[in-house]
Amino acid sequence: MPRRRRTLAAPPPDPFGEHRRAQRLTRAQLLGGSFEFETDHPRLLQLVRTAYAGLPAHRLAARAPRLRVRLTLAPPRAALRAEPGLIRPLAGHGLLCGVMDGASFSALSPRHRSALIVVARELLRYPYHARYELLEFSVYVLAARAQRLVPLHAACLGQRGSGVLLLGASGAGKSTLVLHAVLSGLELLAEDSVLIRPQGLKATGIASFVHVRPDSLRFLAAPRRAALLRHSTRIRRRSGIAKLEIDVRGRRGRLARAPLPIRAVVFLSRRRSDGALLRPLARAAALRRLHAAQRYAATQPGWRAFRARIARLPAYELRRGEHPQQAVAELRALLARTRRGARG
C-alpha cells in the first residue's frame, strides 16, 4: 500500500511536537522561580548544567512561580564561517523573541511563563553565545516578568545577610572588583545582572561565573592565578574584548545562599583617588546616575516603587586605588556599617 503523503489539508497528528514528552528533564530553583528545563539533546542539557548546576536555591516568596523552558536543535544548515551575529530583539502580541544567525532563536511568552529555545547545530561550536545570549537571556526575562522584578545591569556582593549594589559603566572595573571581593570572602550574588523586588529591595541573581580581562589576575599570587586559569575559559565579548570566564562555584567562591536585602548603592568610577576611595553622593546625584545607567529597567513595571525605596539608601562613588583590595576593604567596612544600622 503506498505511503500517504502529508499535506496542509491532511497534516500529521502532532506536526509541532506539542504533545511529545522530552527525553531529558532537569529542574532548578533560580532567581525566585522554579524552572523546569526539557530537551531531547544531551549537549543542550549540558548548557543548562554549565549555567546553573551547584547554585543556591533562591526564593522570594513562599510559593515560587513555575517557569518552563524547552530547548531543541534546529535542522542542520550550512556551517557558520565565523561567530554568529548579534542577537536581534523582536516583540509582538505578548511574545518576546531574540533571533540570531543560523536559525537560532529564543521565543518567550511571559504570560504563559514559558520559553522555546531553538539552537542551530552550528551554534554549538560557540557554547558561550548559546548559553549566555539564548538560555540565560530567557531565564532572566521569564523570572523578572513573572515576579515583576526590576532588572538591573549591576553586580551585587554581600556579607552576613546584607547586600551592596555595584553599578558602573564598561571599563569601570566592576568585574575585577567582584573577583577580588569573592576571593577575599565576600558573598557573590551576581556579577552582571541583578533582579530586585521593589518591596523590601531584596535582590537575586546568578553567581556561576565572573568575567574579567586576563590582566586583572596580575594582582594575585602565582599559585592562585594558576588555579583560577585552570577553572576558566577564554571568551570574546560582542565588543571584541577578550575575557576569562571564571567559574566561582565550589571552593573558589562564597555564593549568597539566599536573596540579599540591598543596604547601599555604590557607583564605580574610573577616576583615580587622590584621597578617600569611597565618597558619599547626594540623593539627587545618585538618582541621576541610576537612571542614566538603567535605561531599560526604568521602562519596566515596578521602577517607580524601586526608585522611591532605593533613594532612601546611602549612595557612594567608589574611585580606584593602587590595588583592588583597597576597594574590597571599603566595601567590607560599608557592609558592616549598614548591617549595624539595619539592626539599630
191-229 tens-digit pLDDT: 999 999 999 999 999 999 999 999 889 999 999 999 888
Dihedral, 155, 157, 161, 162 alpha carbons, nearest 10: -80
Residue 233 and residue 128 in contact, taking contact as beta carbons nearer than 8 Å = yes
In a domain, 58, yes or no: yes
Res 2 pLDDT > 70: no
Tell me, what amino acid is at 195? Answer: L
Do residues 110 and 171 both lie within one domain?
A: no
Q: What does the DSSP 8-state code read for residue 228?
A: H
Return the percentage of the chain with pLDDT > 70, whole number: 92
Range of the domain at 109: 24-147
- Mean pLDDT check: name the lowest of 32-41, 57-66, 100-109, 282-291: 100-109
Q: What is the pTM assigned to this prediction?
A: 0.90
Pick 188 or 172 by higher pLDDT: 188
Domain count, the chain: 2
Does residue 163 share a domain with residue 33? no
132, 147, 162 - which closes a domain: 147
- All residues at 6 or more sequence positions from 5 whose CB lies less than 8 Å from its CB, including other chains: none
Is there a single domain that holds both residue 188 and residue 301? yes
Q: What does the pLDDT look like over 325-334, one tens digit per residue?
A: 999 999 999 9
- What cell does 115 get? 520559553
**Integer CA distances (angstroms), 294 to 149, 285, 288, in order:** 14, 14, 10
The cell 561567530 sits on which residue?
83
Does residue 93 share a domain with residue 69? yes
- What CATH number is attached to the domain comprising 261? 3.90.228.20
Cell reading at 146: 513573572
Considering the domain architecture, whether residues 272 and 322 belong to the same structural domain is answered as: yes
Q: Classify 214 as helix, strand or coil.
A: helix
Asked, for residue 227, whether it belongs to a domain, the answer is no
Note whether 166 and 262 are same-domain residues: yes
pLDDT reading at 80 higher than 70? no
Based on the domain organization, do 142 and 159 belong to the same domain? no
Largest CA distance in the chain: 89
Does residue 339 lie within any of the structural domains?
A: yes
Four-CA torsion 183, 52, 169, 134, nearest 10 degrees: 160
Average pLDDT over the chain, rounded to an integer: 90
In a domain, 285, yes or no: yes
Report which secondary-structure segment, H or E, holds 27: strand 24-30
Q: Are residues 107 and 186 in the same domain?
A: no
The reply to whether 224 falls in a domain is no
Is pLDDT above 70 for 4? no
Residues 262 and 142 placed together within one structural domain of the fold: no
Residue that is written with C-alpha cell 531531547 in the block: 40
Q: Model confidence at 6, in pLDDT bands (50, 70, 90)?
A: low
230 falls within a domain: no
pLDDT digit string (tens) for 277-307? 999 999 999 999 999 999 999 999 999 999 9
Determine the Cα–Cα distance for residues 175 and 235; give it in Å rounded to an integer.
Answer: 15
In order, the DSSP letters of 238-292 are TTS-EEEEEE--GGG-EEPSS-EEEEEEEEEEEEEPSS-SEEE--HHHHHHHHHH
Whether 318 contacts 266, CB under 8 Å: yes
Boundary of a domain, candidates 147, 170, 188: 147
Cell 536559525 belongs to 103
CA dist 166 and 177 (Å) reads 10
Give the end of a domain, one of 128, 147, 166: 147
The H or E element spanning position 89 is strand 88-92
CA distance 233 to 110: 32
Question: Do 104 and 202 belong to one domain?
Answer: no
What ranges in the chain are assigned the alpha helix state H? 42-52, 127-129, 136-147, 174-183, 222-230, 283-293, 303-310, 324-343
Rounded CA separation 68/48 (Å): 13
pLDDT in tens, 217-264: 999 999 999 988 888 999 988 778 899 999 999 876 799 999 999 999
Cβ atoms of 244 and 212 within 8 Å: the answer is yes
Average pLDDT for residues 99-109, to the nearest whole number? Answer: 88
Instruction: Indicate if 158 and 279 belong to the same structural domain.
Output: yes
**Residues 111-151: tens digit of each pLDDT:** 999 999 999 988 898 899 999 999 999 999 999 999 999 99
User: Tell me, what amino acid is at 77?
Assistant: R
Model confidence band, residue 268 (pLDDT cutoffs 50, 70, 90): very high
DSSP state, residue 215: G
Residue 236 belongs to some domain of the structure: no
155 with 37, same domain: the answer is no
Question: 50 lies in a domain?
Answer: yes
